[in-house]
């Protein structure tokens, strides 16, 4: 079964830029994994940010962007704000009998 | 306005059963794949089940296979999760989430299931 790995934690300064990554145990992440990214704040349901690698939902702030980087899916936050402090999860479509697999999440601290 | 509202959570003893529901509104429910995702206290998100828009394709995570059953009633705009043989490790917030063309976009607020004696 595929294991999806994210950085456990990252710290960024307000106004800075940070990139979170999402790797698959089966090899390089490609567009065929349709990477999705979610933000979750304490006590709240996850909120979708990015789908199919780089597509933003209508509510996704412009400072969030998705890409493929070095065989991984990546979420970049530019001009980070205090309100971006949260847990971020990637989700990969792995097909087969267990189609979706979440990464373990990245706790982003804005400090 | 798109809404997904889960219900049916609660406290149950190990070995017991619960049936979760997810009521959908504000969109054409029958057009969407639906998923159940759970989150144990202090832990990450875990995908546990998928059902295609017509119900013809169903998948489960190994952790729940053989114990949980996903179903949907498109006429009632509702998704269900029948959970049997519950274990302490099934304690979690359970979310329903819609899925269209590999975009998982809207989530419900979740319902808490606690398995404890």
Burial readout B3-40 (b: 16 or more C-beta within 10 A, e: otherwise)? ebebebbeebeeeeebebbbbbeebebeebbbbbbbbe
Length of chain B: 117
Instruction: Using the structure block, give the residue that is written with the tokens 């940010």.
Output: A49
CA of A9 to nearest chain B CA: how many angstroms apart? 13
With a CB cutoff of 8 Å and minimum separation 6, the contacts of A42 are none
- Which chain A residues are closer than 8 Å to B45 by Cβ? 38, 40, 46, 89, 91, 102, 105
Check residues A95 and B58 and name the one with the higher pLDDT: B58
Q: Which two tokens stand for residue A10?
A: 């990252």
Share of chain B above pLDDT 70, in %: 100
Angle at A57 between CA A59 and CA A10, to 5 degrees: 85
Residue corresponding to tokens 């800075």: A16
Chain B residues near residue A55 by CB distance under 8 angstroms: 103
At B93-103, the pLDDT tens digits run 999 999 999 99
The parts of chain A modelled with pLDDT lower than 70 are none
């Amino acid at each position: 079964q595929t294991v999806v790995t994210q950085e456990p934690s990252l710290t960024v300064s307000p106004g800075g830029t940070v990139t979170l990554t999402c790797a698959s145990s089966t090899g390089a992440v490609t567009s065929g994994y349709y990477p999705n990214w979610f933000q979750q704040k304490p006590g709240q349901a996850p909120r979708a940010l990015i789908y199919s690698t780089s597509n933003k939902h209508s509510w996704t702030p412009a400072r969030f962007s998705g890409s493929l980087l070095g065989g991984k899916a990546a979420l970049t936050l530019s001009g980070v704000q205090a309100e971006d402090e949260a847990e971020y999860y990637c989700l990969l479509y792995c097909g087969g009998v267990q189609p979706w697999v979440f990464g373990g999440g990245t706790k982003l601290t804005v400090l | 306005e798109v809404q997904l509202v889960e219900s049916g959570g609660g406290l149950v003893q190990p070995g017991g059963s619960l049936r979760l529901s997810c009521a959908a509104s504000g969109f054409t429910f029958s057009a969407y794949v639906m998923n159940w995702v759970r989150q144990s206290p202090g832990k990450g998100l875990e995908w546990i089940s998928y059902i295609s828009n017509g119900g013809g394709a169903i998948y489960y995570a190994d952790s729940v296979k053989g114990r949980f059953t996903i179903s949907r009633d498109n006429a009632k705009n509702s998704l269900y999760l029948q959970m049997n043989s519950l274990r302490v490790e099934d304690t979690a917030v359970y979310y329903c989430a819609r899925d269209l063309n590999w975009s998982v976009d809207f989530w419900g607020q979740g319902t808490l299931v606690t398995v404890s004696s």
